[in-house]
Structure 1
Amino acid sequence: MASQEGPHLQQVDLTKLSLPQLTQLRQQLDQELTVFQDSLQTLKIAQQKFQDSGDCLEKITPKAEGNPILVPLTGSDIDSAKDYFKRKVNYVTEQMEKIQTLGLEKSKIRDAVMDVMEMKFQAQLQLQEAAASAAAAKS
């Protein structure tokens, strides 16, 4: 029996991660987002091909009788072929929507990671400046 649950995500307090850990997390998110973009591009091409194939079926009318056409070697008629391509376009569109949703979630996480990295970097700079000021005051 297949589980309907998505992957279990562990919540992590980003402020407790070090800068190197945050950098590694950001790089991982960047890679995942690249995979999502590549997947969306591939699905978009498939969606267009199915749409084009379905559109081609619209040209098969009684007026086209006697003209040569290429026909796939299947037992389906035009109506079932139209239904097939419509279902494929709908399926691919659903998959694209799922990937877009995941991509938006990953982008939000990446933005949060970048915000925490900036906050930690600024805090580190302030500590260095304070240390430099204290050292200068002692001299």
Structure 2
Amino acid sequence: MAQAQGAQPGQIEITSLPVPRLQELKTQLDAELTHLSNSFQSLRTAQSKFRDCLTSISTGLTPATVSKPLLVPLTSSLYVPGKLTDHEHVLVDVGTGFFVEKDIASAKDFYERKVKDLGDSLKDLEGVVQGKAQNVRVVEEVIRLKVMNAQEGKGEEQGS
């Protein structure tokens, strides 16, 4: 965030900004950091759900489970009794409320790709979050130094 002597065009040296403007910048950076952190958490939650789906397919679909009764979730708190009639095919939620019937191998592949894609996105987003956090720390440090310098200047004026 702090610029070197050869600052690029369109960039401003943050040490030249007044404290109120730096506080506005810090507020903006904090809001961006909060938004990015929430997005990071949402991606991690989605990745966890895809992993759960992958685990369910891998461990829950065997020929022995065809005749066993089970509870089918309609919502997070409402389940209805059901029976598994086909252990070779599953319905996969491909997004925006669309479901596709896939065989077990295709469904596993789909969920593995989703987990991998989300993992890549999480790595990228983690770098952005760390960069924003560093920017916030730099702005906080500049504000702290400017406030200390202003207080020292007032102390010297009163002492004269």
TM-score under structure 1 normalisation? 0.83
Q: Which moved more, 1:62-71 or 1:29-38?
A: 62-71
After TM superposition, give the deviation of residue 13 of structure 1 in Å.
1.6
Task: Spell out the pairing of 1:11-30 with structure 2 (5 A cutoff).
Answer: 11-30=11-30
Supply the distance in 1 between the matched residues of 2:100 and 2:155 (Cα, whole angstroms). 75
What is aligned with 1:66? 67
1:42-81 pair list within 5 angstroms = 42-58=42-58, 59-67=60-68, 68-69=83-84, 71-72=90-91, 74-81=100-107
**Post-superposition, which runs of at least 4 consecutive aligned residues in structure 1 deviate over 6 A?**
none
Secondary structure of 2:47's partner?
helix
More helix per residue: 1 or 2?
A: 1
More relative contact order, 1 or 2 (CA 8 Å, 6+ apart): 1
Residue matched to 1:90: 116
Aligned residues: 126
TM-score, length-normalised on structure 2? 0.72
Gap runs ≥5 in structure 1: 1-9, 135-139
How well do the aligned residues superpose, as a CA RMSD in angstroms? Answer: 1.9
| Percent of pairs with identical residues | 29
